[in-house]
Structures are given as structure tokens and as C-alpha cells.
Chains A and B, each alone.
Chain A
């Protein structure tokens, strides 16, 4: 299955950049949690398992995987259903399947599964333009897991599904006009959503974002602290494990949602530029893979996987600088989180897979 010549087509640059980001994340988790903790160990296991998942996703031809995409999709939906009824509850959310030493978070894998399903659906479409049926099927495929994840509730992860759809639909030939209409509808629906769809705490977060000083002790606290954390880093940073904001817990969940703030504090603007550069490299290199893909299926698959990754990276980093409302969105590759790490690395396995097999039949 894994032919020798394929080995030469592995995108080593991308792989190294991805693993470097994992290493940087690991180091900052070490710093933020105050040394060699179980958190660090768990993250290492996450990375190792993620690399296994990456290898698995790399080995199997993505076309074979796409052929099984409906099964994979259904399996994931089944897991979500299971979570909805039997999942482990933590912090008021029912998101996990308790596997003893490990807690699996199926919603993290939905992105890749959805990307695979949509890529398959559009990649094999013979029609030149998108039909209403296509859009309806797409909407249905997305809405089912999205609603289920939102029920957990985990609005952050649910929202990451939307870029997947849009990226694929956009590149698959959705008329720009239709995008404009959708944007208009979203704009008009915003007040209604504000009124009925959002929980109080969510509304509060958005209000707080617009004026953090209004509630400096409560919800605005994290945002102000994030800016202080980043701003106090300066050009060269305070030095590894020397950050005061993260170390002294002025910034909550520093090893998780705010890992990038900790990096900015300890490594300064220099560290930020290097890390941003790595992420940008990873994204552009992946887009390159989409362009080089042998077929539309491969291009759509890369795009689908990449879309949620890119969305999360940009949103999380913006939030880390205190420039976006605080949302429970992790930074892929760097934040603490086993399921997220495994799912992300598995996703990169798919991206590498597409590029590697661009000359095969």
C-alpha cells in the first residue's frame, strides 16, 4: 500500500513545520503549568498518538478513504449521539467519551469527517455548477453534527464546521452572488440570533468584548489580562518560564486557550513572528497541496481540513491578543488537548496524503 517511491513525495517541509509547532506548544505548556506536570505528559501522549493517526491517514490512499467517507461520517454521528446521552460531563458540557486514561472528544474528529464527506460529494460531482440540491445536501450534512455539537454545548467547535463547508463550496464553484446573499441573511439574522439563540453568558462575552473595562473583574478580566500578557512581552519577551502573567495565573487556562499569549509574553514579538510564520507556512504550503492535487476530491479534502484549522488559528491568536471575544477555541497544534491534537495531526496526514499521491493513479 505504501510504496517506496511515495516516500520521496512526502512534503517534509510541511511535516517538520507542523511538528515544530507541536514542540513549541509543548514547551509553552511546560512553562505555563509550572514544569513537568501530568498536563505535559498527556500532551506528549497526544502528540505521539497524533503521529500514529497521521501515519495511518497518510498510508491509506485518500481515495479509498473517500470511498468509505459515508461510513466514517455515520460512525462519527453515532459517537456524537452516544456523547449526547452517555458522554462525560465536565464544566457543564457533555463532550467526552471516558476511555479511562484518555477522554475522547468526538466533535474534534467531525471536522475531518465532514471534510472527507463533502470532498467526496463534490469531488465526484459531474456537474459544472452547484445546484440547489447540492447546497441542500451540503447544508444537511453540516447541520446534523453542528446542531448535535451545539447541544453539548460546545458552540466554539460547532462554529468551526462552517469554514469547512464554505471553503469547499466556495472553491467548488458556488456563485459569489449567493455568498453575498448568505452574508446578507446572516447580517439580518444577527439581532434575532442575539435575542433568541445566544445564552446570557455568550451575550455577556460579546458585550464585554466591546467594552472590557466595564467589567474588569468579571468577563472583561480575561481580555484585559490577555492584552497585558501580550503587551508586556515586548520585543524579546520575558524569557522562558519567566512570564509573570501566565505563571502567576492572572491569565486563566494559560496552557489551553491562551497558550499563544504565554508565548507572546515569554518569547516576545520575535517569538510571535516566528510562530506566525510557521503557521502561515503550514497554511500556504497546504493550499499549495490543494492546487497541486491530482483531482478535485483531493483539492476539496485539503481545503476542508485546512479551513477549520485556519479559522481556529486566526481566531485563537486574535483572541490571545485580547482582540476578539473570549471563546473556548483552542490553538491547533499548540494548545493542550489530546483529541484536538490527534484530530489535527490526522488532518495533516490527509493533506500530506493528497500531495504525496499527486502522481499516482
Chain B
């Protein structure tokens, strides 16, 4: 009896266990259904985030070529070392080990990481840009030992600029996009053009970054590549620059031993052949992101290597401005080229005596000889006859006022005064006496080297104010496509006698008794004009003595060749070189190179030689503006050189005449 009782109890309790097990398994099945079917998408995504890592593949920027197809700016491979925190368990250990292996300061690395702490953990934090091969080798070895699994070494294309900082200001430089520059296609940390061609044509040059999706394991080691979207290289761009002429100009400056600027172009089209601003920075320093110390030293350098002197430096035009006055007088029909003035070493206008640079005077000179000799009195006279507004009008037609419109950023406006301008700027009436100084390029005349180059091109081509430009052709993917050249800013057909007189006068400067003899090339009919940009007035010079500022004058040399149907024109600006004629050999070297190349002869080489002793320079001889015949009561009104009026302005850094 008890036994059957026993059996029954066992059977019941076994049944209870059986049901319990079935319930438990049902619960398990439901749990798995919930996880694997209902929440599948969510976990699927988490699994992918777990093991997939998207690495950016930097697109190389477009290669820049010169007008003959020579590579100017290309890309090299460099290595970036980054930390990916995604799978890092001990960030501090990684930082310390990486700093130790790469030879960095732990604190520096920690600061970099700290700066990016808020970003998603899968985004690499770049610790070392453009790492040395030794660093890469040391880090890779540790990675293979699983010691630094969260450190990645990426190969990135890096801009490679020519050596010797060639045409640095033309190319510009690249840098990390700032907040305002972020947009579609430009993400945080992207390197974009910040200056020069790199900036203006950034959209063409930038390309599109690709991506590589890799599978990583639980410690962050890459296992294999899942997907690769190749980066799209930036467009290839051909510049109007001629590498040999560029090099010739920079060699010329180096040989001459001063800094400055040069813009040399084809006067028929405005194509820029050579673009120099010295001293220059090395754009390679910026290629992988510039370090703070180099940036600071570039910014505080008294020689201002970051300044793009060609379009940002404004200087007194000096005697080169006489060409504007000559053109204006001839085109306005006020005088003919045969108009003569007797120079006795000076002349009196509005009760003041204005000197010519030649104490004894030039005697009776016509237009051609006035240009050749750079006779101040002749141009005082023309200026007085013209009035400032007509001078301004023709300065504008020649491209000397306003911007040239060159395709480079941050161009400064050149200034040639007018009555309207003075009223607007100072709320004051223009005094006729001020015009006299303007007639020889002093007073408020303040121009960029680029605008003087345009003036020279306009005189060379007979009145078409071309727009200087740098881009020649773009490869949009289907071969070279010529870029549409910018329209001429103004077009005036000069009278034949105007052109003849100007061209003759300028030819005589180089080939006659003028100051440009150092640019003479037999058989090439080089035409040119020297000029001096006073850095400070004679009165100001005395006040500034001992301030440590370089107060020596700047020298100009503007030129074109040949005299008839010119093919090349430009400006050489010598900073503090005191004599405009010292720029002439640079122009000569460039032109000789131009002709040698054109005719297939070996290119000329500059030989080192002793710098010749300075010779008498009419442009530098002090243009003393004598005390007014009447007592100097109203200095500001009567004195045509504004800097004399305000001693207080001496305190401001460098002091260029006019501004």
C-alpha cells in the first residue's frame, strides 16, 4: 500500500519537475526570440560598431604645374600617429607608453588628448603629425607586441612644396579649417588652403576624402578591410607661372642681396610668369599643420615673412609715377611729346620752391628726355597743368589705383589721391600745392608692386589694363581645360604719339643716358624706369634716428621688353635697397632667361661677383622741398608731405611714406 502511495507521489513530483523544465525552456526560447528577432537591429548595429572602424583616407590635394607642365607642388606620403580610445582600457598607460616610445613629453601628449576628449571615442586623436620614420618604426614594433593596440599609424598625403620656399606667397599654405570654414565636404580637422593659390582654388584642389572600413578585434587590432572607398584626388591645376622665370627672379634677389617683391607677366594677356615676395616662409612647415613655435616666430619676425608684399605691401610710387603724369598729359591733349620745360634745378609753385634732383638743372627737356632723365621740374609742371583729378583718372586707367583683381586673396588697394578722396577721407579740400608732390609719386601716393606691374603692362600693350591672373588650365578629369582668362579691367587705345613717346623715353632710360642701364640687353630693346620709395621724410628721419627701424629707402624698377610689341613686363621692388637701379639686374636676368628659353638656348646662370659700389642715383638724391617762401604758418595745408605734419606718428612700427 505504502509502495503504491510512494509511486504515486514520485509520479506527481516528477510531473511537477517536468512542467517546471518545460516552462524554463519556454522562457529561454522567448528570451532568445526577444533578443534575436525583436531587438535584432539594435544589437546588429552594436555588433558592427564593436568591430568596425571607419578610417578616413585623406585625398591628396591637386598637383600644381607650371605653364610648361613642370610639377611645382605635389604630395608626399607622411605618417600621422593617433590614439583611438574606443577600446582603450587604460588611457593613461597608452599616453605614457606612446610618449616614451615616440620621445615626446607625457604632458604634451596628455594635453592633446585632453583637447579632444569630448569627441566620439572612435575618432582618432592625432598625436604626432608627420612622424619621423624612427618614431613610426618604434611605434609599429610596439603595436605588433600588442602593447599599443589603440595607437594607429596612418599614411596621409602631405603637400610637398619646392625647396627654398620658391613662390611661397603665390602657393600660400594650408591649415586646419577653423569654425567658420566648416561646411559641406570640409569637416573638423580638414586641411584646407588658408592663403595663396591653395586658398583661392581650394575647391578645385581639395579633392574628396575616402574611407576604409576595417574589422578590428576586441583590443583594436585591424583584422581585415571590409570596404574601401578610394579618396578622390584634387584637380590638377596648371598655373601661368614659368618655373624658370620664377627661379630666375628669386635667384636675382638672392644674388642682389636684398628682400622685396617682383611681379612679372605677359603684358598681352596678364598671365603672371613670376611672383616673388621676400623674405618668404616655407609652406612645407604648414603642410602637416604648423607647430605653435614656428607660427609664433613667423608672426613676430620683424621682416614680416608672412606678408605678401606683391599685393599687400603699399609703398610710395616714386619716380615710376611720372609715367602716369606723362600718359595723362599726352592723352588729355594738354601737351604734345615735344612740349619742353626748362629745368634750372627747381621751380616755385604756389609760393614754395620744389627742387629737381639735379642741382644744376636739366636745361630744356622734352617728354622723352624728361622720362629718360627723370626730371622732376618737367613733371611738376605737367602735374600742375593737369590737376590731381586727371592724374587720378589716368592712374586708375593704368591700373595704379584700386585693386588689380589678381586671383589671390587679401589684395590691398593702391591709392592715388583725388579731391573727392581727400574730402571723403579727411573732410578737407584739396590744395593745388599738394598736386606737385603727387606728380613725382610722393605725397599720398601709395601703391602695391602688383599695381605698378599692371601699369607697366598697360603702357606696354598700348592701353589695355589687363587683369593679372595665375590659373591657366584645370584638369577636371577629362584632360586639360584652359581656364577662361579674366576680362581686361579697362581698355583705352593710346594715341600713337603717346605710345611712341612713352616707349621711347623708357627705352632711353635703359639704353640711353638714364638710370636703367643695368637692365640693358643688346638687341632686346628693354624699356624701364627706376624709382625710389621714400620710407620716411628727411625731417622724420631725424626724429626716428636711433629707433632701430630700417629707414633706408625702397627701390623700384619697372620694365618691359621689347620696346615694340612687348612680351614681358613687370616690376622689381627692392626693400630698403636704397636704389631702384639695383633691381634692374634682376629684371635683366629674368628677361635673359625668358629669351633663352624662348629661343631654346641654355638658361643664363648668375655668377657670384662683388657687389658694385653704389653710383649716383637721381631718384635717391634727396628731393628737398624747401621752406615755403611765405612763413610756415599752416603746415598741414601747405605742406604736401603729410608725414612731416605729424611727429606723433613715429611711434607706429614701420613707417612707409604716405601710409
Q: Which residues of A contact B (CB under 8 A)?
A: 128, 167, 170-171, 173, 217, 225, 227-235, 244-245, 248-250, 264, 268-269, 272-273, 276, 279-280, 283-284, 287, 290-291, 296, 299, 303, 310, 314, 317-318, 321-323
Contact = CB atoms under 8 A, between A and B. Distances in A.
Contacts of B215: 244, 248
Given A269-B32, A273-B29, A128 B2 contact: yes
Given A230-B36, A250-B217, A314-B28, 8 more contacts: A171-B14, A173-B6, A228-B43, A231-B40, A284-B22, A299-B14, A303-B14, A318-B31
A280 B50 contact: no
B52 to A, nearest CB: 9
B50 A290 contact: no
Contacts of A318: 28, 31
B42 interface: yes
Interface string B1-43: 0100110011101100110011011001101110111011011
B51 A296 contact: no
Interface in B62-82: none
29 contacts: A128-B6, A173-B6, A227-B35, A228-B50, A229-B47, A231-B36, A231-B42, A231-B46, A231-B47, A232-B43, A232-B48, A233-B36, A235-B40, A244-B47, A245-B50, A245-B51, A248-B50, A248-B215, A248-B216, A250-B218, A269-B36, A276-B29, A284-B22, A287-B14, A291-B14, A296-B10, A314-B24, A317-B28, A318-B31
Pairs A-B, 5 closest by C-beta atoms:
A231-B43, A232-B47, A248-B217, A269-B36, A249-B218
Chain B residues touching A, majority SS: helix
B543 interface: no
A234 B216 CA distance: 21
Contacts of B219: 249
B40 A321 contact: no
Interface residues of B, number: 39
Contacts of B43: 227-228, 230-232
B223 interface: yes
Interface of B: 2, 5-6, 9-11, 13-14, 17-18, 21-22, 24-25, 28-29, 31-33, 35-37, 39-40, 42-44, 46-48, 50-51, 89, 215-219, 223
B44 A248 contact: no
A128 B35 CA distance: 47
A280 B25 contact: yes
Contact of A276 (B6, B28, B39): B28
A285 B6 CA distance: 22
B223 A248 contact: yes
B50 A171 contact: no
Contact of B50 (A244, A272, A317): A244
Given A171-B10, A310-B21, A235 B31 contact: no
B33 to A, nearest CB: 6
Contacts of A287: 14, 17-18, 21
Given A229-B47, A231-B36, A232-B44, A128 B217 contact: no
Nearest to A235: B37
A230 B47 contact: no
Among A171, A232, A321, the most chain B Cβ lie within 10 Å of the Cβ of A232
Contacts of B217: 248-250
B51 A244 contact: yes
A284 B19 CA distance: 10
Nearest to B45: A232
B18 A232 contact: no
B46 A235 contact: no
A284 B218 contact: no
Contact of B40 (A229, A232, A273): A232
